[in-house]
């Protein structure tokens, strides 16, 4: 039973998780204020993610590599991206990420109220990413400012402001590419330099293609890692027994627990598709050329699939959609998982206690963002 399709559901300014929790029992599909068809349940979101022929990823007018590509073209670029995010490619960075986490945790003030998103998640995400990509540490301030601005623009839904922020971010990326591509550039061997030498269709990648690839890595990494750290520490702050358990848990258990916490409050909210033909889904006829939104946050809380959302890391792992599914499944999953595990372990081993500040409640993000804007915590 799908219920009547509400004509248009305003989501802006609301807590998306709470709002989609209200809508999902009655509606498999709703239309948002922009006229997009929003899929809310696990079955439909998974079906659309797996059906990349009828649900095309070419939903943006901007070049998005590999996110916005389809078919053979997607595979060609995706093969390049995957090489940098494999277990083998990432293993040398484990000790570097550990150092980054330990240094950050060592400098966090004790017995003061900190924000898990802005004081822990953001600097960790930026430093880990600069270390991985071989970017200079001096970019930290610019990148932190960009994350804040990018979140603010997403909330404001102002296209002109969004274009200006995107342009600034592309400028940061161009500043790291240019010296590596200049004639007679010194021979270094970091991840960005190697990417600059990649070829596709027998030619070098263009600047525009490099900027797009790096934008999707960094955009995916920085915002999602910061929000994920907020979600994670808020949950652990409310579950001290779980926090104690994790101090001596295996890596696999820590990863499963993190995935389950992110399933319950997935901060990577949604992705768009465009229908390539009329499609019947969730009891509705969607015309050709319509924009469809796969709402991962809602699908990940589908009570029928996840046993009324009890906490069951191992039992829910197979159906977890935090990192997507199908052709466009997140290639950065291992990097994100290792970064989050390393930061969690580093915090848990270095602090005596971590708890939610009792005088300042956590503040939820609002649509189109997920997770928390502010998670005040105290460490001792």
Annotated binding site: 330
- Positive or negative: CA dihedral 48, 50, 56, 59: positive
Cα distance between residue 96 and residue 74, in whole Å: 31
Cβ nearer to ligand HEM, comparing 221 with 260:
221
Least gap, CB of 288 to ligand HEM (angstroms): 20
C-alpha–C-alpha distance, residues 187 and 282, integer Å: 54
Does 228 bind ligand HEM (CB under 6 A)? Our answer is yes
In the complex, least distance from residue 198 CB atom to ligand HEM, rounded to whole angstroms: 14
Q: Does 371 bind ligand HEM (CB under 6 A)?
A: no
Alpha helices in 157-293 (DSSP H): 159-181, 191-196, 207-238, 240-247, 251-264
CA 331 to chain centre: 11
Single out the residue of 335, 265, 268 nearest to residue 125, CA to CA.
335
Binding flags for ligand HEM, 86-125, as an x/- string (CB under 6 A): ----------------------------------------
372 binds ligand HEM (CB under 6 A): no
CA distance 316 to 242: 17
Question: What distance in Å separates the CA atoms of residue 55 and residue 48, rounded to the nearest whole number?
Answer: 6
Only one of the segments 6-14, 172-180, 212-220, 343-351 lies at the binding site for ligand HEM (rule: CB under 6 A); that segment is 212-220
Q: Which helix (H) or strand (E) holds 141?
A: helix 140-156
- 110 backbone dihedrals φ, ψ, rounded to 5°: -90, 150
**Residue written as token pair 């808020």:** 234
Number of residues engaging ligand HEM in binding (CB under 6 A): 24
**73 vs 99 by CB, closer to ligand HEM:** 73
Among all residues, whose Cβ is closest to ligand HEM?
Answer: 332
254 binds ligand HEM (CB under 6 A): no
Output the known binding site for heme.
Answer: 330
Q: By CB under 6 A, what part of segment 327-366 binds ligand HEM? A: 328, 330-332, 335-336
268 binds ligand HEM (CB under 6 A): yes
Contacts with ligand HEM in 55-74 (CB under 6 A)? 66-67
CB atoms within 10 A of CB 180: 18
User: Which residues of this chain interact with ligand HEM, rule CB under 6 A?
Assistant: 49, 66-67, 78, 81, 216-217, 220-221, 224-225, 228, 268, 271, 296, 322-324, 328, 330-332, 335-336
């Amino acid at each position: 039973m799908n219920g009547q399709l509400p004509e248009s559901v305003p989501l802006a300014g609301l807590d998306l998780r709470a709002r989609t929790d209200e809508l999902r029992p009655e509606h498999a599909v709703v239309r948002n204020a922009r006229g997009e068809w929003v899929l809310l349940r696990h079955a439909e979101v998974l079906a659309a993610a797996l059906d990349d022929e009828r649900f095309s990823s070419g939903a943006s007018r901007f070049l998005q590599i590999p996110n916005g590509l389809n078919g053979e073209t997607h595979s060609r670029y995706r093969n390049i991206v995957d090489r940098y995010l494999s277990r083998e490619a990432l293993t040398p960075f484990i000790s570097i990420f550990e150092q980054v986490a330990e240094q950050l945790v060592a400098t966090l003030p004790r017995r003061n109220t900190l924000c898990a998103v802005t004081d822990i998640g953001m600097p960790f995400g930026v430093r880990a990413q600069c270390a991985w990509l071989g970017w200079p540490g001096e970019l930290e301030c610019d990148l932190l400012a960009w994350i804040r601005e990018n979140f603010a623009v997403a909330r404001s839904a102002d296209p002109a402001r969004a274009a200006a922020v995107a342009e600034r971010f592309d400028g940061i990326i161009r500043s790291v590419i240019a010296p590596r591509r200049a004639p007679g550039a010194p021979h270094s061997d970091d991840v960005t330099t190697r990417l600059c030498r990649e070829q596709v269709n027998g030619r070098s990648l263009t600047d525009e293609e490099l900027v797009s690839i790096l934008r999707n890595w960094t955009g995916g990494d920085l915002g999602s890692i910061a929000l994920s750290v907020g979600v994670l520490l808020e949950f652990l702050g409310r579950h001290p027994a779980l926090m104690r358990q994790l101090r001596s848990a295996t890596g696999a258990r820590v990863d499963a627990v993190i995935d389950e916490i992110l399933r319950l409050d997935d901060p990577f909210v949604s992705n768009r598709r465009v229908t390539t033909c009329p499609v019947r889904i969730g009891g509705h006829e969607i015309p050709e050329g319509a924009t469809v939104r796969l709402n991962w946050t809602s699908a990940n809380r589908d009570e029928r699939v996840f046993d009324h959302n009890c906490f069951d890391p191992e039992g829910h792992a197979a159906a977890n959609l935090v990192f997507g599914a199908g052709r466009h499944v997140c290639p950065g999953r291992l990097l994100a998982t290792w970064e989050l595990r390393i930061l969690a372990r580093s915090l848990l081993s270095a602090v005596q206690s971590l708890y939610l500040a009792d005088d300042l409640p956590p503040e939820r993000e609002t649509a189109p963002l997920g997770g928390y804007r502010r998670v005040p915590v105290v460490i001792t």
